Amino acid sequence: MEHNIWQQKWVIGNWKMNGDLHGNNALVHKLRNFPVADKVCIGISPPTMYLLQVHNAVQIVLNNKIHTCAQDVSRFAGKGAYTGEVSAEMMKDVGVDIVLIGHSERSLYFNEKNDIQRLKIENVLNVGLLPLLCVGESLKEREDGREKEAVAYQLSVLKGLKTKNFAVAYEPVWAIGTGKIATKEQIADMHQFIYEEILSLCGKDVNIRVLYGGSVNDKNAADIFSVPHVDGALVGGASLKYESFAAIISAAQEA
């Protein structure tokens, strides 16, 4: 990694369960001509099936390094009789750099909580990849004024990890895919809280990136990037089209 990613804004496209061979190639190849964005750490997180395709395609991107990111990883390490699973070792083998852990959709549909997230984070760290932990409160927790309590509990999985590098995405569940966006005050408040929590859980001598996620698009990105302690964005829907994803990268470069 040529630039220090801990000083860059990160823009990571979470494709979720979207994409196909033809469309993925077209999208990544358009990024080939994207102007230099040296202040941005760009990542693409396709479905597991397409990790190798995306990794191979981004090797020929000329101007910017594009990181290959996985959306999830097995709780099991190495190899073994775990039908349907893909290990962190395999992800490293095909060129993955960053692995999303604990996205709220994993929690909602697969009931993944802190204990499983912790196993996954350790597997990712053990093979030298970077986990990106997703946290965020539900609408009910926000309405009850318990948003920080909820996020603090989710962040507690980071305690005692053998790493100095902590990447977190704050994604209020009520803002994901809904078009609702947290206010700048809500974002600033929570991002500062997450910084303080990481520093108190993991020590002062650490690298931190806290990304915002939830309905980030080409219209609101510049505004969000202007909020203190916002170190980038995890982008779902708007990462599926070149024009909107490129505009968000540009906004990060200019922030």
80 binds ligand PGA (CB under 6 A): no
Minimum distance of ligand PGA from residue 231's CB (angstroms): 15
Rounded to a whole number of angstroms, the minimum distance from the CB of residue 36 to ligand PGA is: 25
Distance between CA 23 and CA 39 in Å, rounded? 27
Structure tokens at 89: 């070792």
Of 5, 133, 236, 245, which lies in the binding site for ligand PGA, with binding defined by CB under 6 A? 236
For ligand PGA, the closer of residues 227 and 238 by Cβ is 238
Virtual torsion, Cα 192, 249, 40, 65, nearest 10 deg: 140
Only segment of 30-38, 59-67, 200-208, 234-242 that touches ligand PGA (CB under 6 A): 234-242
d(CA 28, CA 104): 26
The single residue among 66, 133, 234, 255 that binds ligand PGA, judged by CB under 6 A, is 234
Largest CA distance in the chain: 49
Q: Least distance from C-beta 243 to ligand PGA, angstroms?
A: 15
Residue 71 vs residues 2, 80, 136: alpha-carbon distances, Å:
24, 21, 17
Q: What is the footprint of ligand PGA within residues 156-185 (CB under 6 A)?
A: 171, 176-177
Chain positions 191 to 230 lying near ligand PGA, rule: CB under 6 A, are 213-216
- Dihedral angle sign, alpha carbons of residues 65, 66, 72, 76: negative
Specify the residue, 164 or 180, whose C-beta has the smaller distance to ligand PGA. 180
Q: Which is nearer to ligand PGA, 202 or 251 (CB)?
A: 251
Residues recognised as catalytic = 103, 171
